[in-house]
Amino acid sequence: MDNKPHISLQDIGTDLPFTVPDHYFDDFAARMEAATATQRPPLRHMLKSWLYMAALFAGVFLLGNLAYIIYQRNTNLKIENYERYLLSQVDEGALIDFYYEDLTNTEQ
């Protein structure tokens, strides 16, 4: 093989290395139309995709609902624990006096 540093366009020539089969473009439009003609997908295929989508939305809804229920339950437990903590910090006698004073103030 000859090691030339540069190849000129005159050395390459004008011959094209690729060819098109004979009469390829004569019926090209008809073949393209036949290949890309829209065919209706089978009903089973359409229903299958719709059922997948419905199942996806139902799953998202159920997971969201479950997350909301867990959030509400945790919120209620936090409130209940806070009330227990407050009641544990108050003296029982002071609590009875507070309620008694409140009852006597409302009767007057």
Q: What is the pLDDT of residues 59-84, one digit of tens each?
A: 999 999 999 999 999 999 999 999 99
Mean pLDDT over 30-52 rounds to 85
4 to 8, 12, 15: CA distances (angstroms): 10, 13, 21
Residue holding tokens 């910090």? Answer: 89
**Any residues with CB less than 8 A from the CB of 95 and at least 6 apart, and which?**
87
pLDDT reported for residue 107: 63
Our CA angle for 4, 5, 6, nearest 5°, is 95
Q: What is the pTM of this model?
A: 0.44
Q: Give the CB-side neighbour count of residue 60, counting CA atoms within 13 A.
A: 6
Residue holding tokens 């002071």? Answer: 94
Query: Between these two residues, 103 and 43, which has the higher pLDDT value?
Result: 43
pLDDT band at 104 (very low <50, low <70, confident <90, very high): confident
3-state secondary structure of 16: coil
